[in-house]
Structure 1
Amino acid sequence: MRHRSVGDLMTQTAVSVQRGTTFKEIARILDEFGITAVPVLDGNGCPVGVVSEADLLRRHNTGNTAADLMSHPAITATPGWSVVRAARVMEKHQIKRLPVIDSEGRLIGVLSRSDLLQLFLRRDHAIQEEILEDVLTHTLRLSPSCLTVEVTDGVVTLSGTVIRHSLVPVVLRLCRSVDGVVDVIDRLDYEQDDLSDDAGVDTR
């Protein structure tokens, strides 16, 4: 299974400003492009900070340029990051936009919260197909006929019977990791309980 990365979802044409960009120009840029924050770049095109709407609103006569107003250092990501990692970083730092840099530290894109939401706009049929083909058949080597996979608005319902009890958490975990899955409802049964204390004990 290949999960989409930051590089797959980011906006490649990133709006940015320089250290000397003025308060008024930054406000105009945010309004014109309908964004909530903009990276501040140095002379080499590397992000050194970010100016957000909040930064503009809470200025206290500290200056009138991006260098004066920005929050720094810039919290950045690379294209190879998983979207889960990016989402956790954005949540931890309470930011809505994450500058994406190349191996030289130069800005190559921006990942926003709205970009992350694209994951959950996958069609149910595409999610169902990936679970049946990639998760069950190729990864777990299970026969798709032994399980029923239903997907409604990103919610996956799994029913049917697997051979061993220990397979159930594995199936659930892999299905939850599929792009676009909102939740997984477990209605799975099993033939052998290899997780119980008595499993494998000869009671004859």
Structure 2
Amino acid sequence: MQHRTVHDVMSHQVATVRRETPFKAIAELLAERDISAVPVVDDSGRVVGVVSEEDLLRKESGQPDPDRLNPSLWMRPSDRRRAQAETADALMTRTVFTACPHWSLVEAAQMMDRHHVKRLPVLDESDRLVGIVSRSDLLRVFLRTDRAIRGEIVTEVLEHTMMIDPAAISVSVSDGVVTMRGQVERKSMIPIVERLCRAVDGVVALHPQLSYAFDDTRIDLDPPLVRGVMQPQRHTR
């Protein structure tokens, strides 16, 4: 099974700014590229921070209103400093969560969910920026056609991995929802088939209706017990 990685879906051409990039230039870049954040890199191309629309909006929210008191009076000191910032160095968020190109899409999604971020700069083995992956990039996997999903399940999961005759299992896919009907040889195979099918890129849900010919989960391989005591095994020569 060929799972897509961060490298497969990330944006390879990444807009960046430097520490000294002015506030207005950052705002113009975000508007021009239709992006919501931009990494800040040093002279070696390593990421030292990220400036987002949220960071820029602090300046707007900190502007005095003629009809009210200055709202910056109620800001936290760190937000007040950002509201007064003129360059990326003072604006940026310095804690940056990143991804690696070889990560699975699941790993990237878990990182975003765990830290409540919308995007991850992607770094190579030298910690240099090689791309950026966003939530929308991860969701592209669900654009796979039903035909492609079914083909991978039948060929890769059933035939090649589980060595099950595809004719024994009926597989249908509608809007990413997979329905399977049929019989496998052993009961222990069912959870494995289900797990592998759910892991196929683009699968939204799985509705398994599988039976089995032989229940191999009830085989007792332990030595016999007499009055609750395990009998020693005798060895003959």
- TM-score under structure 1 normalisation? 0.93
Equivalent in the alignment of 1:41: 41
> Which of 1 and 2 has greater Rg?
2
2:6/2:104 contact within 8 Å kept: yes
Q: Note the residue ranges of structure 1 that are not aligned, 5 or more in a row.
A: none
RMSD: 1.4
Equivalent in the alignment of 2:86: 64
Equivalent in the alignment of 1:51: 51
Measure the CA separation in 1 of the matches of 2:210 and 2:23.
Answer: 58
Measure the CA separation in 2 of the matches of 1:165 and 1:47.
Answer: 51
Measure the CA separation in 2 of the matches of 1:60 and 1:92.
Answer: 27
Q: Note the residue ranges of structure 2 that are not aligned, 5 or more in a row.
A: 59-78, 221-237
Identity of aligned residues (%): 51
Question: AA paired with 1:170?
Answer: I
After TM superposition, the structure 1 = structure 2 runs for residues 145-164 of structure 1, keeping only pairs within 5 Å, are 145-164=167-186
CA deviation map 1:131-173 (0-9, x unaligned): 0000000001110011011011111111101111111110010
- TM-score under structure 2 normalisation? 0.80
Measure the CA separation in 2 of the matches of 1:128 and 1:121.
Answer: 14
Equivalent in the alignment of 1:24: 24
1:36/1:96 contact within 8 Å kept: no
Equivalent in the alignment of 2:101: 79
Measure the CA separation in 2 of the matches of 1:73 and 1:18.
Answer: 16
Measure the CA separation in 2 of the matches of 1:18 and 1:9.
Answer: 25
Q: Runs ≥4 in structure 1, deviation > 4 angstroms?
A: none
* Bigger shift: residues 53-62 or 11-20: 53-62
Question: AA paired with 1:60?
Answer: R
Q: Secondary structure at the match of 2:213?
A: strand
Measure the CA separation in 2 of the matches of 1:54 and 1:166.
Answer: 51
Question: AA paired with 1:50?
Answer: V
2:81/2:90 contact within 8 Å kept: no
Measure the CA separation in 2 of the matches of 1:140 and 1:150.
Answer: 18
Aligned length: 199
Equivalent in the alignment of 1:130: 152
